[in-house]
Structure 1
Amino acid sequence: MTHKAFQEIISPFFWSEQEASASVCLTVGEYKNEVFKSREAEGFEGNGYDWASLASVFLAERQPHLVGIIKFDPEGSMYCAYSSDKEALKQFAVAFKEALEDPAVVTDLFSRAELD
């Protein structure tokens, strides 16, 4: 898969590569807001920490072999996953984006997300 094709698949997430690691990030506030609004009364805002909570559930349940390899470094306005294993991070990014595009899957996963 070309880098351009990969970027298109994971969009609106974006890939950033450093020498020894890579990260996949999202500027929060536009993509999948309705998911987070469904639990707004519990305190979810759709910020980077909420995204990391959702991604953690996905990772633990759907890609447990990558737990410990994929790490999260969220901020209020930015969700970010990173790893020194670039191929593992690519696998995670594609699978996570795929799950997010299926309303039933994302709703189910988010039902187990916890506020950070």
Structure 2
Amino acid sequence: MHPLKLVETTPGKYSLLLNAGSTAVDELIEELGHEPNGYFWEGVAQLVVRNDAPDLAGRLAYDPEGGMFCAYGTDRAALEHLGARMSALANDPDSMRELVARGEESGFEFDD
């Protein structure tokens, strides 16, 4: 799930974390006109859920900051699923380029 990590913050409550600016696709994100901050990664997560994993909708929440992406909830399996999908994007420039293009074509606004 690298560079994301899943932590149990309190018993039965989990957070999926990504330190913004620590991925293999940061330069690409900037080339595409975005800032690879926590808010951008929230947009990535929203697109993943909307387009590729609609079964995750309503099973987690987001709380990003400038320097960190955070999704949280009590459904560990949902966070693991999202983490695996986001890890693939964070490590594959072609997949990230495709996701951003699909988002922009559909009118999605990244909040970065």
Aligned letter for 1:34? E
Return the match for 1:39 from 32, 40, 45: 32
C-alpha distance in structure 1 between counterparts of 2:21 and 2:50, whole Å: 24
Q: Distance in 1 between matches of 2:81 and 2:35?
A: 27
Correspondence 1:66 to 2:56: yes
| Amino acid in structure 2 at the alignment position of 1:27 | N
CA contact (8 A) 2:15 2:70 kept: yes
Q: Which runs of 5+ in 2 are unaligned?
A: none
Tell me the percent identity. Answer: 30
Aligned residues: 104
CA RMSD of aligned residues (A): 1.6
Is this contact kept in 1: 2:3–2:22, CA < 8 A? no
Please list the CA deviations of residues 16-73 of structure 1 after superposition, one character each: whole Å capped at 9, or x if unmatched: 1021321110111121202311222xxx211100111111111111100101112211
TM-score by structure 2 length? 0.81
Specify the alignment match of 2:4 in structure 1.
13
Q: Deviations over 1:89-116 (max 9, x none)?
A: 1122112212443333221112215232
Q: Which moved more, 1:76-85 or 1:99-108?
A: 99-108
**Counterpart position of 2:17:** 25
- TM-score normalized with structure 1 length: 0.79
The 2-side partners of 1:58 and 1:35 are apart by 18
Q: Does 1:115 align with 2:107?
A: no
Report deviation, 1:12: 1.6
| Whole-Å separation in 2 of the counterparts to 1:99 and 1:11 | 11
Identify unmatched segments of 5+ residues in structure 1: 1-9
Distance 1:87 1:108 in 2: 26
> What secondary structure does 2:35 align onto?
coil
The one of the two structures with greater contact order (alpha-carbon pairs below 8 A, sep at least 6) is 2
